[in-house]
Copies of this chain bind each other. A is one copy, B any other.
Amino acid sequence: MSVKSIEKTLSTLDFFISNMKPGGLSLKEVCASLGFKKSAAHHMLATVCQKGYLYQDLKTKKYLIGSKIKKMSKLAILDDSDFSDFAFEHIKRVNDGTGEAVHLAGFEGTRLITLTMLQSTHPVRVDHGFLNKDHAFHATASGKAILAHMNLANQEKILKKNRVEFTEFTITDKVTLLKELSAIKKNGYAIDDEEFQEGVYCVGYPVFNEYHEPVASVSCSSPKYKIVRDKKYLDKIKSFTQQAAFEISKYYKPKKTIKKGERKYAA
């Protein structure tokens, strides 16, 4: 079950994220775009302002994002810049070596999140996916690479919500997906064969923490015709990507002694 008034409020914040303008957004704009009645929207926004998450410009009456959000953002974990910084050089090496788009993804609960991405340097570019956007776990190599190494309970929890059909090749059947995940786990890498975007082929390798739990993934996308035309090309992409994921996993090398009762290191 979900609380509708909270849903509406957070959808409004979403709207601010994607449509923010320098002077802020007016009540009318919010209502027009989200289909709210103005009095209801006003009550809602007044409450949000009262708590300081938004605020209203005294002169223009337009709504702006409050600094409380900034304060809160400092407490977000996936915003762990250390990790992204550490990973960057390895991601870059894949990008330099292949010229193709490279993604570093992490996750928060059941959400797959793009942490860093490097665009293809080739003329025919593949540029789906944006920073911090949340992606499909089931239809991407990055998602499946992580998912494959989770336990069944978590896999099902994630697949319950994420099974949108993006292309005719998207696997939407849960049993087929679970079978695929087990193959991925055995092979050590995941592929996305036009499952998310037509004409795009993608390879993904998992990044593990010190307990051998999957925490992120590195993936490399390429136009499919290149893969078909030249068999060796895929091997090259795989080797670069695998290497990067392996190196990035070293970020999680145990730093302090493991306390008893904690999981053992198993890499």
A246 interface residue per 8 A CB criterion:
no
- Which chain B residues lie closer than 8 Å to A79 at the CB level? 67, 70
Are A70's CB and B132's CB within 8 A? Answer: yes
Are A43's CB and B75's CB within 8 A? Answer: no
A44 interface residue per 8 A CB criterion:
yes
A255 interface residue per 8 A CB criterion:
no
Q: Which of A188-228 contact B (CB under 8 A)?
A: none
In the complex, per-residue mask of A1-42: 1 if CB is within 8 Å of any chain B CB, else 0: 111011101110110110010000000000000000000000
Shortest A108–chain B CB gap in Å is: 4
Copies in the complex: 2
Bound: A90/B77 CA distance, A: 34
Residue of B nearest to A50 (CB): B2
Tell which of A51-59, A94-102, A231-239 binds the partner.
Answer: A51-59
Are A1's CB and B132's CB within 8 A? Answer: no
A78 interface residue per 8 A CB criterion:
yes
A183 interface residue per 8 A CB criterion:
no
- Which chain B residues lie closer than 8 Å to A71 at the CB level? 17, 132
A76 interface residue per 8 A CB criterion:
yes
- Which chain B residues lie closer than 8 Å to A264 at the CB level? none
A134 interface residue per 8 A CB criterion:
yes
Are B13's CB and A109's CB within 8 A? Answer: no
Bound: A14/B53 CA distance, A: 10
Bound: A77/B67 CA distance, A: 8
A253 interface residue per 8 A CB criterion:
no
Bound: A53/B10 CA distance, A: 8
Bound: A67/B16 CA distance, A: 15
In the complex, per-residue mask of A64-97: 1 if CB is within 8 Å of any chain B CB, else 0: 1111111111011111000000000000000000
A111 interface residue per 8 A CB criterion:
yes
* Known contacts A1-B43, A46-B1, A113-B67; is-contact A75 B7 (Cβ 8 Å): no
Tell me which of B2, B47, B75 contacts A65 (CB under 8 A). B75
A49 interface residue per 8 A CB criterion:
yes
Tell me which of B5, B58, B67, B150 contacts A5 (CB under 8 A). B5
Knowing that A10-B53, A14-B51 are A-B contacts, what are 19 other residue pairs whose CB atoms are under 8 Å apart, sorted by A's residue number?
Answer: A1-B43, A3-B47, A5-B5, A6-B51, A16-B72, A16-B75, A17-B71, A57-B109, A58-B109, A58-B150, A64-B76, A64-B77, A64-B108, A65-B77, A66-B76, A67-B76, A67-B113, A69-B69, A70-B73
Closest 3 interchain pairs by CB?
Answer: A73-B73, A55-B109, A55-B108
7 A-B pairs, CB-CB below 8 angstroms?
Answer: A7-B50, A7-B51, A16-B75, A52-B111, A52-B134, A66-B111, A67-B113
